[in-house]
Structures are given as C-alpha cells and as structure tokens.
Amino acid sequence: MKWIAISLSLLLFWISGCAPREKREIGRYSLKDCKSGGKELKGIQIERILVRKSAHKMYLYHKGKVIETMPVSLGKNASKGPKVEKDDFKTPTGVYRIVNKRCHPIKYRALYLSYPNAKDRARAAKLGVNPGSYITIHAQPYWNRDGHGDSYTLRHDWTNGCIAVTNRDMDYLWQHVPIGTVIELQD
C-alpha cells in the first residue's frame, strides 16, 4: 500500500512539471508585437556576451567593459559538462554568434545561437551522434510572464540546453543585442 502512495506522489510530481502547480497557467504569448523580427535597436549596442555557466551569470560588454550582468538558468544537465548530443539537456560551451531574433509563443522571445559550430559538428561526428540545434537565449514560460516566478526559475536549471533569462532581461537584450553579436559560453 505504501508503494502505491509513493508511486502516485511521484506520478503527480512528474505530471506537474518543474513549476509550482498553483503558478502554472496554460497560454501562449501573442506574436502580434513582433512584426520587425527584433531588428529594432535602441541605445547602446552590446558587442560581446559572455556566459559563465558555473556562476549562472551573463555578462554584456560595450567598448570592452561589462555594462550589465544578468542571472541565467541553463540546461537541466548543464553541470554535467558541455553539450555533446541532441536531447542531452546540456548547455554548450564555445564561441558562437547571435544569428536570429524571434518572438516565441511559449518562451516570449528568443535569440538564436549559431550552435552547432564546426567544432561541435566534428566532435559529434567522431562520436557518431547528432549534436542537436536550436540553442537560444530565451525568456520565461507563459505562466511566468509577469515575473512572479523569476526567483523560482532562476534557482533551477530547467531548459533543454538553452540559456534562460527573465522577460525583463530579455526586453533589454532585444533592444541592445544586434544580430551577429559574439557570445562565448564558458564552464
């Protein structure tokens, strides 16, 4: 009888996902506010982004100096090394570029990285695996669109390998990060 109660508890936890149940809300972001595709820039332009995975921090550079620091969440298995293959839930390490900016119906907005690069593809080929793709810096799920769950989502690594920031921080990145910006991801 005890094992049934334990099994039911685990099943309910699994079904509820990583967000607290009372805060989850079904819905999607509207894409109507994204007609420009994120090409609008305001103010200073970020020249380089550095993500230190072990610190869970993103550093934004302008004229060689850090001008902003943001907390980040990473892939569920980010602490187990760099991304090697599709669906390993790890965040890559290496040097990439921002190649696209798109509104996202589930994660608000996203900046797409040039992952996998030649080094990633070569390593995956040597191992006989698919390196995966579509690594982004993205914002929060719809249930956290107003930021009430930021402290929860930033305390956990929960993505499939992407870098997650708050919606407020994404709004800043959207306005100040041009396509082509270099991003380095370090352990």
Q: Give the Cα separation of 98 and 181 in Å (integer).
A: 5
Is residue 5 assigned to a domain?
no
Spell out the SS3 assignment of 100-125: EEEEECCCEEEEEECCCCHHHHHHHH
pLDDT given at position 35: 61
pLDDT grade, residue 33 (50/70/90)? low
Of all residues in the chain, the percent with pLDDT exceeding 70 is 82
Is residue 34 assigned to a domain?
no
For 32-64, the DSSP string reads: TT-TTTT----SS---EEEEEGGGTEEEEEETT
Q: Give the Cα separation of 59 and 49 in Å (integer).
A: 6
Is residue 8 assigned to a domain?
no
Alpha helices in 68-179 (DSSP H): 118-127, 150-154, 167-176
Cis bond upstream, residue 116 (ω within 30): yes
Is residue 78 assigned to a domain?
yes
Q: Return the CATH number at 85.
A: 2.40.440.10
Is residue 110 assigned to a domain?
yes
pLDDT given at position 126: 96
Is residue 1 assigned to a domain?
no
Q: Give the Cα separation of 112 and 89 in Å (integer).
A: 17
Q: What is the pLDDT of residues 59-112, one digit of tens each?
A: 999 999 999 999 999 999 998 989 999 999 999 999 999 999 988 888 899 999
Q: Give the Cα separation of 137 and 84 in Å (integer).
A: 18
Find the range with the poorest average confidence among 31-45, 49-63, 154-168: 31-45
User: Could you tell me the residue range of the domain that residue 108 belongs to?
Assistant: 43-186
Q: What is the pTM of this model?
A: 0.82
The number of distinct structural domains making up the chain is: 1
Span 1-20, mean pLDDT? 39
Is residue 104 assigned to a domain?
yes
Q: Which residues, listed in sequence order, are joined to residue 65 by a DSSP beta bridge?
A: 62
Residues 6+ apart with CB under 8 A from 116: 92, 124, 131, 132, 133
Quick one: which of 105, 71, 112, 74 has its CA closest to 90?
A: 74
Q: Give the Cα separation of 71 and 184 in Å (integer).
A: 15
If you count them, how many residues does the chain have? 187
Q: What is the pLDDT of residues 15-28, one digit of tens each?
A: 333 334 444 556 78
Is residue 24 assigned to a domain?
no
pLDDT given at position 41: 84
* Residue 110 CB neighbour total at 10 angstroms: 25
pLDDT given at position 164: 97
